[in-house]
Amino acid sequence: MSGLGPGDVRDRPERWTVTEESTAFEGHVFDVRRDRVEMPRGDGVEIVGRDVIVHPGSVGVLALDDRERVLLLRQYRHPVARLLWEAPAGLRDVAGEPPHKLAERELLEEAGYRAERWDTLVDVFPSSGMSDERVRIFLARGLTEVPADQIDFERVHEEADMPVVWVPLDEAVRKVLAGEVHNMVAATGILAAHAARASGYGGLRPVDAPED
């Protein structure tokens, strides 16, 4: 037995020694860094190679209306060759922009809504075995639709035609568990919102909570 209990279950920062690093690939959105890492092995250490996708991070928005319906939009995703139902989301590609301000912008630009109430819903590392990407998912409530002519944003490429559908939260949970919704932000946000609702949304962190 490890000697650890439930009270010890909390992710914490740690950085093992990197003896060498180099850039294996430079892309438009992410780079790939190649590290040589000292990893414990018995009484000594072992030098192991690890490729790391260096990602700017992103945010997602679980928008919930006053009828407890979730806003989902459909977008083509080429890497998985599917049309996926997703929550609004976007890259942290503006230096210095607070995550919740990016979330506000993405909800407006992708779905055409503003929200009166914002909370931090959940933080995730979606692919921690290969990428440093961090995603913060916000819960947005008190929604107001914004007329299209008041939105200064042009959707192009995959975003050019994204239909929006409102799904009751309980039905959205069923769809996630049935394997009908695969997008990480949508699935995580839906399940987290369902859990938060069970406690009256009392345990949510503020919109500007620090990213530990």
Residues 187, 129, 121, 162: is their CA dihedral positive or negative? negative
Set 46, 158, 159, 180: catalytic member: 159
User: 147: closest CA among 181, 171, 117, 112?
Assistant: 112
Secondary element (H or E) of residue 105: helix 99-106
Query: Which amino acid would we find at residue 165?
Result: V
Question: 17 in helix, strand or coil?
Answer: coil
User: What are the helix and strand counts (H, E) for the chain?
Assistant: 3, 11
The reply to whether 68 belongs to the active site is: no
Per DSSP, what are the bridge partners of residue 34? 22, 51
Residues that are catalytic: 159
